Structure 1
């Protein structure tokens, strides 16, 4: 027998021969595959060994000859998969990468799984292989399917399983890997990663086949890590940066997509359920929730290059890694420096909102236009009509007070002719009156408002609007200055040299402004 080559021992594709280690769920998998008609769902992170385990189990129980393994990533295979619900006696069909199938095909397969299970048809068996929560996706399409499936969850494998892979490889190659323990830790439960990193250790010392004499491989893990990260930077770097910047990058933005990647890198699993992550990070509830709820994440993740390495399921609210090497790359990024390298000025923002709008009902048209323009640029804006569901049944004053007092970076006060006469504008202005001194209130006066005795902004720069003009046109002019004000504040916060604010449409005057925020703002 020929001596094994390195690529035959530490394998990064295909079924391992010298280094196969049965996953924890392997016994249950064998039984599930033998059960006539009943559907089998195998879910778990990419690279954990799902397809390898299925292939090996089918071989061990003598079903390889009647089995077909089809990939949802191969167009010809997808056509065949779509015909399965209309076919009888097709044997054992393994549908790999189920999560990337078109929605209508997923639904049809879910319905057919019920038919096969009820009939206990020994001539047809479907095995679904997908990333985490593939079973949940099937049940969403067919709720009564849950009792008719065997769902096997291939989670992260324990260290002893990965250690066994390394030991088998060492024996096959007649070597000893000095950095084996570090490799096992870095692989974080992935059979694929432990194979890849072990292979790289051997390559670092130019060991490409079994050694006649026992060899100690002394290459350090840190050198291998650096080499692997360089390789992966060329592969993943541009796409990761594209995803992290988002479709509308702003240096002063909230880096919502970057935060999603960071949460994914920090997860014990290789996917995250966004509603759970947002609950764990309430300070980002508004900003990240916004890109999810408005469908911006779904659109961004659907780009071809991004979809090759990340998968977003909007129905299940799940963001998953498609490639185990990407997991390694994300977990080993320098997350302290990475945001700045992308051009973000401040990621860990201290305010829930970028802006809170305060206005009287008569000035809603211009307030609505301001909200629309700022919202379209990914700013998080407190606008009363967006919060009705949260306000109903609550103590309104207790709800509003912190938003205007501290939870917004800036208050935009639209100071129309009746601002100081309205109950809620008086209340709101009481909350933010102390923020004038810090420059955190942006007054926008109606140019025709009459002066009042409440002159709290004699020395404050302000903008003006014309209530008789088109609200959208007025907002377009105003929002340019408002956004630059926000950007300058972000640069000031992070210590970046300031850029002079262009306030051609602002007025800084010695004379009193024509109106004032409200009684009590002094």
Structure 2
């Protein structure tokens, strides 16, 4: 019997030489990859083995044709991909993580795929093999509708119990061991090939099996202990990115929407989620998701390279994904209470959707809009009606406003003047937030000397003269209002 190292058998990085399991549609993918010039799309959830499948096909081809492997996760590779789209060189190119490319570059590659598919000499065409998350094929077809019949579009599903069983038994045989409770491993991995490899390697290491052993033995294990070992092993690689994501772009002890979102995704069980669907199905995090999905979440990812390498978000489709199956497994089994402490979040009983809700009359919308925009840029969850109109379509504003101003905002910032006193909607809002004056959660901005029942004039707030004709009013508002509000939130 040939002696093999455990990491050669159960492989967590690269292509498994002994435990690769071909998906049911492997031969069809192989033929399309082999066909000169024919564009190929391979899609599926993280952990289904898309990248491993393509790499194995390139090995099985055994030809001398050079293949350039590029990923959208690497900046230098993106530059090369841009050059390929522009120069259209002959050759075979794998473009992994296609969904991470800009919409413009995706369109250019779709056009290139069409030209290659129609080329009179396919051997001189640019052969594109595109790898990405779910529905990447249908999305590409929408960019260039008439190329659907000319390209091979394949979807790789997670492994079923027969495939996972085959993987485990093949690897165990190479190491001369038996790994029982195959159904337990399958339930833990849900068909994720990478995770199966990782768990089997950890099971062997815990039993002291570092390579093929001479006398065959059965390895007993407890899945809870194996899970804990794997999560601890992944800690150093993934905890920094998780923590940086949860703390947001500008940390404040009360600013927890990113933490709540990531926890909900971990509990949801899918590494690729539609945030609109998640918000609708999870009322406890609906406000947090709606508050960050349009502007704050994409800004966070764009501003922090460590976060961008670990998480992907498409603002247009509201699709959030975690491409690395190791990271997703780590998130699924995090100690969230410990993470909350490590992030420095304040533990409070209240569960606010917004840190600030703005109440104002239409005559002061320009000032309210500026304050809201500045607060959002400073990563503050703020309710400003125009920012959330799409979230509340089909709902009655009366109920939405009553909930937000009465209980779902930590503070209400009200722009008080004669218009706020006389207008119907500001009066409605005021009726619901005025009882909160007693707990100190109402912050007035006095625009004139108008008196309000239920809001004592000696409540400390801001006195501001709003003159839209003054070209400096915005910078004055930032200095006198916005920055002081942010300071208040950090208390």
Identify the TM-score tier after normalising by the shorter chain: 0.7 to 0.9
Residues 70 and 77, structure 1, Cα contact 8 Å, conserved in 2: no
For residues 83 and 372 of structure 1, what CA distance do their matches in structure 2 show? 39
Which residues in structure 2 correspond to 1:34-113 (within 5 Å)? Answer: 37-57=37-57, 62=61, 64-66=63-65, 68-72=67-71, 73=74, 75=76, 79=80, 82-83=83-84, 86=87, 90=91, 92-100=92-100, 105-113=105-113
Which of 207-216 and 319-328 deviates more?
319-328
CA displacement at 1:402 relative to structure 2: 4.1
Residues 179 and 221, structure 1, Cα contact 8 Å, conserved in 2: no
Residue 158 to residue 421, structure 1, CA distance change in 2 (3 Å): same
Q: Structure 1 runs of 4+ off > 6 angstroms? A: 388-395
For residues 39 and 450 of structure 1, what CA distance do their matches in structure 2 show? 69
For residues 116 and 84 of structure 1, what CA distance do their matches in structure 2 show? 12
CA displacement at 1:247 relative to structure 2: 0.8
Which residues in structure 2 correspond to 1:211-250 (within 5 Å)? Answer: 211-250=213-252
Residues 70 and 93, structure 2, Cα contact 8 Å, conserved in 1: no
CA displacement at 1:435 relative to structure 2: 3.8
CA displacement at 1:439 relative to structure 2: 4.6
Which residue does the alignment assign to 2:463? 465
The DSSP-based 3-state class of the residue aligned with 1:293 is coil
The DSSP-based 3-state class of the residue aligned with 1:42 is strand
CA displacement at 1:251 relative to structure 2: 0.8
Which residues in structure 2 correspond to 1:224-373 (within 5 Å)? Answer: 224-253=226-255, 255-281=256-282, 284-294=285-295, 296-301=297-302, 303-345=304-346, 350-361=351-362, 367-368=368-369, 370-373=371-374
For residues 424 and 274 of structure 1, what CA distance do their matches in structure 2 show? 30
Mapped pair 1:173 → 2:190: no
1:250-299 residue CA offsets vs partner (Å, 9 max, x unmatched): 1111x222233224323443222333323334554554334332265245
For residues 81 and 355 of structure 1, what CA distance do their matches in structure 2 show? 43
Which of 406-415 and 391-400 deviates more?
391-400
Residues 248 and 377, structure 1, Cα contact 8 Å, conserved in 2: yes
For residues 38 and 275 of structure 2, what CA distance do their matches in structure 1 show? 32
Which residue does the alignment assign to 2:210? 208
For residues 431 and 75 of structure 2, what CA distance do their matches in structure 1 show? 63
The DSSP-based 3-state class of the residue aligned with 1:379 is coil
CA displacement at 1:175 relative to structure 2: 0.6
The DSSP-based 3-state class of the residue aligned with 1:354 is strand
Larger radius of gyration: 1
TM superposition score normalised by structure 1:
0.78
1:178-217 residue CA offsets vs partner (Å, 9 max, x unmatched): 4644433332322112112211221223212222211122
Show structure 1 runs of 5+ residues with no match.
489-522
CA displacement at 1:327 relative to structure 2: 1.7
Which residue does the alignment assign to 1:456? 454
Residues 174 and 211, structure 1, Cα contact 8 Å, conserved in 2: yes
1:138-195 residue CA offsets vs partner (Å, 9 max, x unmatched): 3354343334332212232223311211111111111122464443333232211211
Which residue does the alignment assign to 1:511? none
Residues 296 and 379, structure 2, Cα contact 8 Å, conserved in 1: no
Show structure 2 runs of 5+ residues with no match.
468-472
How many residues are aligned here?
482
The DSSP-based 3-state class of the residue aligned with 2:428 is helix
CA RMSD of aligned residues (A): 3.8
Residues 309 and 323, structure 1, Cα contact 8 Å, conserved in 2: yes
Mapped pair 1:192 → 2:190: no
CA displacement at 1:406 relative to structure 2: 4.0
Residue 390 to residue 246, structure 1, CA distance change in 2 (3 Å): closer
The DSSP-based 3-state class of the residue aligned with 1:375 is helix
For residues 436 and 28 of structure 1, what CA distance do their matches in structure 2 show? 68
Which residues in structure 2 correspond to 1:150-161 (within 5 Å)? Answer: 150-161=152-163
Which residue does the alignment assign to 2:470? none
CA displacement at 1:360 relative to structure 2: 4.0
Residue 347 to residue 197, structure 1, CA distance change in 2 (3 Å): farther
TM superposition score normalised by structure 2:
0.82
Residue 81 to residue 170, structure 1, CA distance change in 2 (3 Å): farther
Residue 102 to residue 398, structure 1, CA distance change in 2 (3 Å): closer
Residues 358 and 413, structure 2, Cα contact 8 Å, conserved in 1: yes
